[in-house]
């Protein structure tokens, strides 16, 4: 187990299992919350991978094959915890428009930030850019300990405290947070059940350079076999997320480069001209689920450990970041008001808040996947007519774009635009 500080304590206030985007963001937000509440919480992150070793990218580095569409709400969170400037310094790619159309019809939906008086709809950011910025910040915080290189082997509740074993070390913590992804070890140890299903879809991801400019636009074509997205990166490159049947994804991954380019051009109707370059290809199986509970005794789940969805709307990590910001806010409020941070009342506030908010987005994205995933003639007609009608409906488009930018719903304070934070004037929301 490595700890760059070499002074690993054994007693923590909060231990986060899983240091991915959500776990690392939570640690930053908790560190801020504890200093706002004038308390020095001792926080640990445990992960079998040495995530703190991820180096910031330079202009000469290849693109990370894993990227995320980051909403305005998530940008506000990154700004509030002080990691956004480091991401911008590496590279972030704004998208100002979105084009959505389908193989089986002639209608198209177009969103334009200019029409909405917005400078952009969101950003496409490489996951390693976000992680390196988060860990750059976390390494500077003396009360956050990075316990990397070994997974947690056991967790046992003893007198309101979790006793953990990591490598050959025994640790104890008041609150345990499972941020350990869709296969969450913490969730399974607690026996928390999930509701969901496999989509029988695999997402093939890669980076391409196209002949024509992407025009800072996120493009998505719904094929009969699943959605294909081109997401704009810098220097004329685009990130591809091609969700399709597992056998087809495996064949596309194994195919020689020239054959793959031809398949991709055809699937995308060559909207951006020829494909000039292709990077390495990787595949990810896709699932949908919601955990039946987000909390247990002195435990909370955040991010993919609590919910996982199809990437077609680019919302998975954005919901996870909102979980992280909400949990930090509820804990800050507990500290200020002298409550125990691991009390059932405090954790229940978090669960009630995020379960309701996440469910509406998860269900909406699942419905879109089902609507576009059917070849039924009647539904195809309805879909086409619906898309034409929707394209004319400015108020409805505004509402959907608010959802897509993450600005809809009951947001945690640090996810709100400055003007909303100022107008509500709230220090901490009482829930």
Ligand X SMILES: Cc1cc2nc3c(=O)[nH]c(=O)nc-3n(C[C@H](O)[C@H](O)[C@H](O)COP(=O)(O)OP(=O)(O)OC[C@H]3O[C@@H](n4cnc5c(N)ncnc54)[C@H](O)[C@@H]3O)c2cc1C
The reply on whether position 311 binds ligand X by CB under 6 A is yes
Strands (E), 51-193: 67-70, 93-95, 97-102, 108-112, 122-126, 144-148, 152-158, 161-166, 169-178
H or E segment to which residue 387 belongs? helix 377-392
H or E segment to which residue 316 belongs? helix 316-336
The reply on whether position 296 binds ligand X by CB under 6 A is no
Taking CB under 6 A as the criterion, the residue among 90, 128, 217, 318 binding ligand X is 318
Minimum Å distance from CB 142 to ligand X?
22
Which is nearer to ligand X, 363 or 393 (by Cβ)? 363
The token duo for 411 is: 């947001």
- Contact call for residues 45 and 145 (beta carbons, < 8 A): yes
Region binding ligand X by CB under 6 A among candidate stretches 83-91, 174-182, 289-297, 382-390: 174-182
Which is nearer to ligand X, 27 or 33 (by Cβ)? 27
Please name which of 212, 194, 372, 361 lies closest in space to residue 289, comparing C-alpha atoms.
194
The reply on whether position 152 binds ligand X by CB under 6 A is yes
The reply on whether position 405 binds ligand X by CB under 6 A is no
What are the residues facing 231 on neighbouring strands? 239
The Cα–Cα gap between 31 and 49 comes to 22
Taking CB under 6 A as the criterion, the residue among 122, 181, 232, 373 binding ligand X is 181
Task: Find where tokens 């020829």 sit.
Answer: 274
The Cα–Cα gap between 348 and 10 comes to 27
Minimum Å distance from CB 239 to ligand X?
9
Query: Helix, strand or coil for residue 330?
Result: helix
**DSSP one-letter code for 343:** -
**Of residues 197-256, those binding ligand X (CB under 6 A):** 203, 205, 241
Minimum Å distance from CB 18 to ligand X?
3
Which is nearer to ligand X, 69 or 335 (by Cβ)? 69
Taking CB under 6 A as the criterion, the residue among 15, 52, 68, 298 binding ligand X is 68
The token duo for 144 is: 């956050």
Which is nearer to ligand X, 179 or 299 (by Cβ)? 179
The reply on whether position 373 binds ligand X by CB under 6 A is no
Region binding ligand X by CB under 6 A among candidate stretches 34-42, 311-319, 378-386, 405-413: 311-319
Binding site for ligand X (CB under 6 A): 17-23, 46-49, 68-69, 151-152, 179-181, 185, 203, 205, 241, 284, 303-304, 311, 314-318, 320
């Amino acid at each position: 187990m490595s700890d760059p500080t070499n002074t690993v304590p054994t007693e923590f206030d909060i231990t986060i299992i899983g240091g991915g985007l959500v776990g690392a963001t939570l640690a930053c937000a908790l560190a801020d919350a504890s200093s706002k509440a004038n308390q020095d919480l001792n926080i640990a992150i445990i992960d079998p991978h040495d995530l703190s070793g991820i180096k910031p990218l330079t202009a000469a580095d290849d693109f990370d094959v894993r990227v995320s569409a980051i909403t305005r709400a998530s940008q506000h969170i990154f700004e509030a915890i002080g990691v956004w400037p480091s991401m911008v310094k590496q590279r972030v790619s704004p998208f100002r428009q979105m084009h959505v159309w389908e193989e089986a019809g002639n209608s198209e939906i177009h969103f334009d930030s200019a029409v909405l008086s917005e400078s952009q709809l969101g950003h496409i950011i490489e996951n390693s850019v976000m992680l390196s910025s988060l860990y750059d910040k976390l390494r500077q915080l003396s009360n956050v300990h990075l316990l990397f290189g070994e997974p947690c082997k056991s967790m046992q509740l003893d007198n309101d405290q979790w006793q953990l074993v990591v490598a050959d070390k025994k640790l104890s913590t008041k609150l345990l947070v499972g941020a350990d992804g869709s296969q969450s070890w913490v969730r399974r140890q607690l026996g928390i059940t999930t509701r969901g299903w496999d989509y029988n879809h695999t997402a093939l991801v890669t980076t391409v350079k196209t002949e024509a400019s992407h025009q800072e636009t996120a493009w998505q074509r719904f094929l009969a076999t699943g959605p294909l997205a081109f997401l704009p990166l810098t220097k004329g490159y685009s990130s591809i997320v091609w969700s399709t049947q597992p056998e087809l994804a495996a064949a596309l991954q194994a195919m020689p480069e020239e054959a793959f380019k031809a398949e991709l051009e055809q699937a995308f109707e060559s909207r951006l001209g020829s494909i000039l370059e292709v990077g390495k290809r990787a595949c990810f199986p896709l699932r949908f689920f919601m955990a039946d509970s987000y909390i247990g005794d002195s435990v909370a789940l955040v991010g993919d450990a609590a919910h996982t969805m199809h990437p077609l709307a680019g919302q998975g990590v954005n919901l996870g970041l909102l979980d992280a910001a909400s949990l930090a806010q509820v804990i800050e409020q507990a500290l200020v008001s002298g409550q125990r941070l691991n009390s059932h009342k405090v954790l229940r506030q978090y669960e009630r808040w995020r379960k309701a908010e996440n469910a509406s987005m998860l269900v909406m994205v699942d419905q879109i996947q089902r609507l576009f995933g059917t070849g039924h003639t009647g539904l195809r007609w309805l879909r086409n007519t619906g898309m034409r009608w929707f394209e004319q409906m400015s108020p409805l488009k505004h509402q959907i774009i608010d959802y897509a930018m993450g600005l809809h719903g009951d947001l945690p304070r640090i996810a709100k635009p400055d003007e909303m934070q100022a107008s509500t004037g709230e220090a901490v929301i009482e829930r």
